[in-house]
Homo-oligomer: A and B are copies of this chain.
């Protein structure tokens, strides 16, 4: 297995929301996550398999969108080396002393403008006696609230400049490209990157509105397709908009459910793992216009026009953007209708 020597783990992400109360209701009551702290306009949350103080920060803001995404380095030394590389690459924003739940972090920005952090010191979550699992390898018991997600799984960024954003993560931080979409005109429509056997901890997709630095989605892991069905039913009953799914992507072979949390950010709920990148010399797989319908859904679901056009913060989706999106959409399934 090949891997990054800098990045050890996806640590947490910060979501902006104009309706923090509803957003917190969504993550706690429906997805069974837990608030482990609050500070100013931010609340800190974790799922029951997340090891650290938090995997999600929900911060009140005028617009929805990504605050930042934080990566844990492979070691204290890897943090120093990573910061040096980022500074050398001209993408570094400097150190912050620490934040709730973690120590010093080096801030940096993608060419598209997404704010990232690299850190090493973290507070581990200590379950209460009542929460403690009988399994010593479990952080805590499965909660009895909602349809509880297990942990934060990956992040998907929209980029106005996909090639530069992808190159930055690959060249400066050691991510490997596992899968990609290339259209007939040579446009790279998406890239799925990881530093582990997961096909992606990070995905980057072209923003068809041309806006820079937006969020496509955060994904949380169930590891089980039945729980996607349970979740879809629960979310629908509670008035949450389901954008697509449950179904299963060909890309990364991931069973998915996409919804909008009340603040408007797209959230993916993720089912069982489809495959792992186990070959140390894995070569990126390329999806094309011919098989993109399968890439979108192995089961035949057509992804909606919003899928490549909507992101947060929300911007006007012009007809051009939709046309552009639709040009790249998988064609609808051919039904035997005259």
Contact = CB atoms under 8 A, between A and B. Distances in A.
A281 B121 CA distance: 11
Given A135-B253, A223-B272, A237-B133, A335 B306 contact: yes
Interface residues of chain A: helix, strand, loop or mixed (majority): loop
A291 B335 contact: no
Interface stretch (A99-107, A157-165, A309-317): A309-317
A280 to B, nearest CB: 4
Contacts of A197: 196-198
A114 interface: no
A233 interface: yes
Interface string A84-98: 000000000000000
Contact of A248 (B229, B291, B314): B229
Interface in A138-156: 138, 141-142, 144-147, 150-151
B134 A236 contact: yes
A260 B247 CA distance: 19
A62 interface: no
A279 B9 contact: yes
Which 7 A-B pairs give the minimum distances between C-beta atoms?
A242-B300, A8-B280, A226-B226, A232-B299, A135-B250, A134-B294, A136-B285
Interface of A: 1-3, 8-10, 29-30, 49, 51, 72-75, 133-138, 141-142, 144-147, 150-151, 178-179, 195-199, 223-227, 229-230, 232-234, 236-237, 241-243, 245-248, 250-253, 255, 257, 260, 264, 272-275, 278-281, 285-287, 291, 294-295, 298-301, 304, 306, 309-310, 314, 316-317, 332-338
